[in-house]
Amino acid sequence: SSTGEEKEVVLKEFFPYEDFHREGDDYRAVANEITNFDIDVEKKKFHDEAEIMQRLGNTPDSHIVPAGDIFECKKTNTSYYVMPFYHSGSLEDLQNAGTLFTEDLVIKHVVRPLCRALHLAHQAKVLHLDIKPENILVDDHGDAVLTDFGVAKQYDDEGSILNRRGVHGTSDFAGPEMRTSGAIVRFGPQPDIFGLSATIYN
């Protein structure tokens, strides 16, 4: 870091593996010849995700993973952003390892932190839209932190209704309104609350 402190980090790379491939000794990211993929649109979504996590995650006690630097690498021809490394992994990792989730643990270390994260996001008119155990990491205090804002939607100040065309829930944790093709919905926290509830139930 700029202060000389050494710490483990994660680099998230813009590399849509279904539409890109690697070339050369420097593993340059190159778009496939035949694809319907719009690189500029998808790269903007990647930068938007990083900027949301930078803004919300760097708020004290946010329980949202903070993004650090966002940068382009000419050598690999793609974008990256920096995040902290969480040694405990995700809630999904802990479940798969057989962790005993007592009621007290879930309320103190999952429900309260995630409600704080969602309250902060919704105040900023951001919906996460993909809450599930694999998108919830665990910090060094054992508290849940929300990550992966890749399908998040930022709402403007004027309208409470936005077209969500192209945003569909693909996980078992997505609310029913997320499965409606081309739906126009009124802004509100319902999809995220459904995802959180389904995660807690799971």
Residues marked active site are found at 130
Q: For residue 72, give every residue at least 6 positions away whose Cβ sits within 8 Å of its Cβ, in sequence order, or none.
A: 78, 79, 80
CA nearest neighbour of 145 among 189, 195, 84: 84
Cβ-based neighbour number of residue 175 at 10 Å: 18
Number of residues that make up the chain: 202
DSSP 3-state of 75: coil
According to DSSP, residue 167 is labeled -
